[in-house]
Structure 1
Amino acid sequence: MENIYSFLKPIDFIVVVVYLIILVGIGYWVSFIKKRETDENLFLAGHSLGWGSIGLTMWGTNVGPSMLIASASIGYTTGIVAGNFAWYAFVFIFLLAVVFAPRYLHAKVLTLPEFMGKRFGQSTRNILAWYTMITILISWLALTLFAGGILVGQILNLPMWLSVIVLVVIAAFFTIAGGLKAVAYTNVFQMLLLIAVSLILTVVGVQKAGGLMAVYESVPADYWNLLRPMNDASYPWLAIVLGYPIMGVWFWCTDQSMVQSVLGAKSLKQGQLGANFTGWLKILDVALFIIPGIVCFILFPDLQDPDEAYMTMVTRLFPAGMTGLVMAVLIAALVSTIDSALNSLSTVFTMDIYVKKIRTDATQKQIITIGRIVTLVGAVLAILLTLAIDSIKGLNLFDIFQAVLGFIAPPMSVVFLFGVLWKRTTKKAANFALSFGTVISIGTGIVYLFVFPDWEMWPHFLLLSFFIFVILAVLTWVIVIFDKNAISESENVLEFTNLAKPDRKVWILWILLIIVMVGFYLFFNGH
């Protein structure tokens, strides 16, 4: 089968270049002409967000180019089983709304490391800073570069290493030219455009395949099962039921990028309603991102690489020019994510480690220099990690994403669940779970993915994530029980006795969402 590159026309590449030049132009305007006004207004959204903004922001942060490419890939090979990662999420978004959000807002914190600092002290906050850098480097930088490398490789017919370098060079060019400010300011527009493109892809693809009933009948029956039998090679039901919650707690309840908008809510009620709105929006993920992959399986069943499913649909079903627009928006959104991750990495190291621990009397010039060095080192490390991820065999893009995130999640899930739910949890226990837990989790992931990937005794990677979580939770509990300082330390923790309760409207909307989601699970498991 011909590759993606062969279906692109000169007009597509012209559209990409023109789009990126316009973004750089807007960035220049924002940087120099509107600088004073935008700098003043950029950070004034604190505690002013309503439920609509919160819901759209959380969903938009979760939905990106990597999601489009990866979801279509897994839809092509296995059907809607990957819908669990969208629909099962409502449980953990609910947990954020009724358990975590009241405590975060009660503590009056802007960041989650700050919350952990108030809960356990500065040493825990320091360890969390290192953990945060590792997660940024792996989950936001390397995985985004990997997805971007696949996309650029498909567009330009290049090997992964060259594709990744091209992407980093584009990101660096945007930074120097001031175009990244434009990407940031047009993110909402670009996200809406990507969602509209996916909706059009779904509608056009379904029509071309003969309608909804034809799509339903043209694939194996198990393509429409959310929960698959235990002998299923891709996603057995027990792996999802036990393994996804570890990732779900980490991602939806403790990841700064996801929780940030709830922390900026006008009130607890608005934060809880916003989280509920996110749960409703997540229902759309299957139709927008997974169904195009299933339709691609029907229309183009001889794809050699399932990761090409999304761009195959774009290049075959869209006219020349529109394909270029889709490519341009995907690249711009990827560049935005890469730059944001590099900026976050630099900020965490410079402000939480360098200034607080290494050189407390650092001048502004030294801080800027260190920030630039960290950005450069982070980019190089991310490229090396991306090439390492590319060497993983036997998994498609979606599986790699979930496996890598599954090995990052356990320490944070343990620390936050214990720290929030059990008053007796001590600093010693929290620090152990974060430091030792990170070594165990990532060490197991390296052995699983790189050292012995073909060992037949391995359980599913989601079950491995669950087992690591259980081991860390038991060890954390043991440390608390035997820690002689537990009683004295527990007197100094954040007080959570007079927390505001969700009001009637919040409960009604959450009960409705729970009923709908249970209905989906019953409907999509009768095949």
Structure 2
Amino acid sequence: MEIHELLTVTDFIVVGVYVLILIGIGYWASFRDKKGVDENLFLAGNSLNWTSIGFTMWGTNVGPSMLIASASIGYTTGIVAGNFAWYAFIFIFLLAVVFAPRYLGARTQTLPEFMGKRFGDSTQNILAWYTIVTVLISWLSLTLFAGGILIQQILGIPMWLSIIVLIIIASFFTIAGGLKAIAATNVFQMILLIVVSLALTITGIYKIGGIDTLVSETPSEYWNLFLPADDPNYPWLAILLGYPVMGVWFWCTDQSMVQSVLGAKNIKQGQLGANFTGWLKILDVPLFILPGVICFILYPELQNPDEAYMTMVTKMFPVGMTGLVMAVLIAALVSTIDSALNALSTVFTMDIYVKKFKPEASQKQVVKIGRIVTVVGAILAIFITLAINSIKGLNLFDVFQSILGFIAPPMSVVFLFGVLWKKTTTRAVNTILILGTILSMGVGVFYLWIFPAADYDFWPHFLLLSFYIFVFLSVLIVILSLTDKSKNQYVSTLDYGELPKLKPSAKVMWAALFIVMIGLYIFFNGN
């Protein structure tokens, strides 16, 4: 029996009530302030506290890939994919102590604007378009693709209809209230997500007979974070070297992830919010990967591992509760999509429309353009998603991670050297952004489609490829900068002021997080 055939009218009523509550929260958050929606559209009027920042960053990251693909990879390989959640704390810390103080000190609304002050208009223009394309592909289209798979499982409707339903719901929040609405609804959504996913994990552990059974009925390697160097899926060396390239880009330089930190009340709230995100990332393994491991024990003959999460839900939860889980899944989809739409709108409006075409634009005109861009971006994402849907035979989790791995190297190199090395020049940065991107994405196209790694065994792991490209581009940016003899070098206009240090409360929280994460890695290091 198909998954959608196991659902009842009560389940769909629960989903309907949830959507109405969500819309109500978004409306209340956006319009209760008589000052107007305008100042809240992009950076929430710089009013976000640490809880809103943490839940928003985590909510943006917890997309359908976390729910479907994490359970799927847990079903097939165990907790090794937890590295993509737990290893992140180092780079979230890097955001808090290195990048966020500079972003906020420079009083910028977007990261292309920040780099424009450092390297000039040419760099800002390239980065603006780079960010738009990145958000459109890696956030919107891939998220919609994974979401379409999920909605197909739940409703049994065509992919195109699933995509349209999701994009309409997400667009409502971005168009109506911007980041203020997104932040408010994310708090509600993420609390609900924690409660329901935790209930699924606990119910599953109880049904199989406890933790001892969970460990004894699975292969021993299922509980190792570091797998042997010759492991075909996730060798330890590939994770150790390759993930940092992705981590710097994803957590420190990606507009969708950094957006909520830019909307912080002050640097202390931004740093505590980043720390809170690190704590929330610990939950990824028990909430999203562990259900897949449990499903491996309960339903070992499952034909499609991508159905592990919903199989657990429909076969273990009572009527009504299944509907609540469906609501939570929709929440995760909406959270990622609306954050991405907001970032797309912000970058185009502030870095291209205002910067290049209409510097004198009124706030009303800026908001209008932002909403138009949201609609256009949503429509483009639908078509790109349908194109992705035509590609068959790819593992969803690996597709997500590999695409991010091939997007990351140029941005990681540009931001690390641009922020930390004063001798980096505009010409070097622009070269890396243009030619480095062509190289990195070109390798990705060959790896995924032209000579797919599944058919050609000469390829190294995609994370190692990402690392090799990063090293090459790092050497190249140093050489280009040191040999750049341009007479009219751009003089940076960045003014951070006095860079703040971590507050005592933030130091305590970060120290505690480091201790806990090191302990987890020691515990799950395996044999």
Give TM-score, length-normalised by structure 1: 0.88
Which one is further off, 95-104 or 350-359?
350-359
186 and 165 in structure 1: CA distance in 2 versus 1, 3 angstrom threshold: closer
1:203 aligned partner: 202
The residue number in structure 1 matching 2:100 is 101
Distance in 1 (alpha carbons) for counterparts of 2:28 and 2:265 = 31
* 1:30 Cα deviation after fit: 7.2
Q: 1:185 to 1:224 in 2, by over 3 A?
A: same
Report matched runs for 1:493-508 at 5 Å: 494=494, 499-502=499-502, 506-508=506-508
Query: Residue 422 of structure 1 aligns with which residue?
Result: 421
Query: Residues 292-311 of structure 1: matches in 2 within 5 Å?
Result: 292-311=291-310
In structure 1, the residue matched to 2:521 is 521
Partner of 1:118: 117
Residue 146 of structure 1 aligns to a residue whose secondary structure is helix
Retained in 2: the 8 A contact 1:24–1:180? Answer: no
Task: State how far apart, in whole Å, the 2-side matches of 1:368 and 1:278 are.
Answer: 29
Residue of structure 2 equivalent to 1:331: 330
Change (3 A) 1:95 1:34: closer
- 1:496–1:229 CA distance, 2 compared to 1 (3 A): same
Query: What is the identity, as a one-letter code, of the residue corresponding to 2:476?
Result: L
* Paired letter, 2:526: G
Partner amino acid for 2:241? L
Find the aligned partners of 1:270 and 1:170 in 2 and give their Cα distance. 29
Q: Which residue of 2 aligns with 1:68?
A: 67
Alignment equivalent of 2:37, drawn from 39, 61, 65 = 39
| Contact 1:52 1:277 survives alignment (8 Å) | yes
- Deviation of 1:438 (Å): 2.1
Correspondence for 2:243: 244
Contact 1:111-1:256 within 8 A present in 2 as well: yes
Shift of 1:110: 3.2
- The range that moved more, 2-11 or 74-83, is 2-11
> What does residue 259 of structure 1 align with?
258
Query: Displacement of 1:374 after TM fit?
Result: 4.6
Q: Which residue of 1 aligns with 2:410?
A: 411
**In the alignment, is the contact (CA less than 8 A) between 1:425 and 1:490 conserved in 2?**
no
Decide whether the 8 Å contact of 1:24 with 1:177 is kept in 2.
no
**Greater mean alpha carbon deviation, residues 388-397 or residues 516-525:** 388-397
The alpha-carbon deviation at position 87 of structure 1 amounts to 0.9
> Sequence identity of aligned pairs in percent?
69
Q: Structure 1 residues 42, 409: closer, same or farther in 2, change over 3 A?
A: same
How far apart are 1:186 and its partner, in Å?
2.9
Q: Secondary structure at the match of 2:228?
A: coil
Q: 1:327 to 1:99 in 2, by over 3 A?
A: same
The letter for the 1-side match of 2:485 is: K
Match of residue 468 from structure 2: 467
2:388 matched residue in structure 1: 389
TM-score normalized with structure 2 length? 0.88
Q: Is the 8 A contact 2:201 2:291 kept in 1?
A: yes
Deviation at 1:383, TM superposition (A): 2.6
**Do 1:424 and 1:480's aligned partners in 2 also have CA atoms closer than 8 Å?**
yes
1:374-418: CA deviations, max 9, x gaps?
Answer: 545433432333234334455422211111111111111011000
* Cα deviation digits, residues 219-253 of structure 1 (max 9, x gap): 11100010111221211111111110011001111
2:196 touches 2:328 (CA, 8 Å); kept in 1?
A: no
Unmatched tracts of structure 1, length 5 or more: none
Q: Which amino acid aligns with 1:510?
A: W
Structure 1 position 507, deviation (Å): 4.1
Per-residue CA deviation, residues 64-86 of structure 1 (Å, 9 max, x unaligned), is 44422221121111110011011
On the 8 A contact 1:423/1:493 being kept in 2, the answer is: no
Alignment of 1:198-237 (within 5 A): 198-237=197-236
**AA aligned opposite 1:9:** T
Describe the shift of the 1:379–1:111 C-alpha distance in structure 2 as closer, same or farther (beyond 3 A). Answer: closer
Q: 1:370 to 1:110 in 2, by over 3 A?
A: closer
Residue 55 (structure 1) aligns with: 54
Provide the C-alpha distance between the structure 1 equivalents of 2:382 and 2:50, rounded to a whole number of angstroms: 38
Post-superposition offset of 1:89: 0.8
Q: How many residues are aligned here?
A: 524
Q: Report what 1:479 is aligned to.
A: 480
**In the TM superposition, what whole-angstrom CA distance separates every residue of 1:109-137 from its partner, at most 9, and x where no partner exists?**
33322211111111111111101101110
How big is the alpha-carbon RMSD for the aligned residues of Structure 1 and Structure 2?
3.3
Deviation string 1:90-124 (CA, Å, 9 cap, x unpaired) is 11112222222332233233332221111111111
Q: Tell me: CA distance 1:267–1:381, structure 2 relative to 1, closer, same or farther (3 Å).
A: closer
